[in-house]
Structure 1
Amino acid sequence: MTLEKCWDHCASFGDQRYAGLQRGEICYCGSALNNYDVYGATEEAVCEYACTGNNEQKCGGLMSNSVYDLGGGPFDRCHPVIDPADFFNDCKTDWCAYEGPEQLCEDIESYAEACQLQGIPIMNWRASLTGFGCAMECTSHSHYEQCPPGNQPTCANPDAANEPCLEFCHEGCVCDNGYIFEGDACVLKSNCGCVDDDGNYHVQSDAVISETCDESCVCEGPENRPATRGWNCQPYACDGDTVCDYRNNMRGCY
């Protein structure tokens, strides 16, 4: 859970102006402030739980909510820090130059990035501009998030999420549950390839002949994988009528 995920979830209902977060991972939505005022306000320090999706953010306390008013628009918290006037003027100039909104999405994206670089959480501004083609296109089995994890696991590096990453958000696409990045595509984890002894990644069924043609390695599918992560190497040799050579982008015996 992050602030952005809860805000976007509540905003998606259309009639829920307030978002409340509790215990680092619970998101509540309400249409009136008195939804959260039954027990009165408390000290801000009580809301000390770090958000499970971003430990730089606070998502309430044990029995207390961090409450946010969503009525001011996606950049409401950024305007006091970064004056949007210059960005707005650039947008007007581009609108006139292109005689239409061709650059609108890029202009607003520039302001969104400036806000996020300052560590300021923003709401999903793309969702409010559906008529202008600002939606970010994601590949199959993936979806858009305003503030995705900094390092997402990949087939080549499944432990990437545990590595240090940037401290600010940057919007992007995230693989759906059960899927993982293989290049720009999201595949089932069971369909990932292999990592060879030198740390190079290979897709399933990829075969490689060594430089001297004395070894042949193949990335096995999940049904044939031993404990060696599927990179299976066997002795290999050219017969007397062939030589080891590199032709047509492939090493082999010719």
Structure 2
Amino acid sequence: IGVCVLEKGSEIGAHILSGAVMDPRALNELIPDWKEQGAPLNVPVTEDKFLFLSETGAKSVPNWALPDNFKNHGNYVISLANVTRWLGQQAEALGVEIFPGFPAAEVLYNDDGSVKGVATGNMGVGKDGEPTGNFQLGMELHAKYTLFCEGCRGHLGRQLNEKFKLGKDADPQVYGIGIKELWEIDPSKHQPGLVIHTAGWPLESDTYGGSFLYHIDHNQVMVGFVVGLA
């Protein structure tokens, strides 16, 4: 049984922008020797802090009062792009076929209406919509199981949602927007493995969200802010 992955980015991990704190449990179960295999989990979490911000200061929440999802002992601060790239290498070593640069463009259906697979888009089409000298017809890939991993608003996901009424009798989707930067800071202020989350200012009380600061290696900090959208 073959496994095929279509990746619209130029390589696996190219569209993974998150800096993250990762629980290694899944890796422990799937690839027990991931450390020996060189998985890029290099910075264990050393300390958690949660701060409520105001315009003039901050109040720290004691760790015993934090919910479990903010307790990161045993987890790692990672670049998710690097981890995804490494996972792609492990998958290829197991025989998975990966096609970077080939976004899925169309859902294919069986006669009974079930999903048959996907088709990739045509390559080498000019701005006028006409084939160029580099034209290449898209491929059809048929599968027993098709997994759609486009994120919350993928164009094929929207089609599937409409066709199969996936939103019926369900709460409406809620959206947020996040930004992230990678800063190199003064080594005297750097603490590898420090994880900080905040809530409060500058957000209004009726808007969810907050910031995060994850200290990784090489005197770098992942700094991000998430805001809920109406």
* TM-score bracket for this pair, using the shorter chain length: under 0.3
- Which structure ranks higher in relative contact order (CA pairs < 8 Å, sequence separation ≥ 6)? 2
Larger Rg: 1
Bigger share in helix: 1
Greater percentage in strand: 2
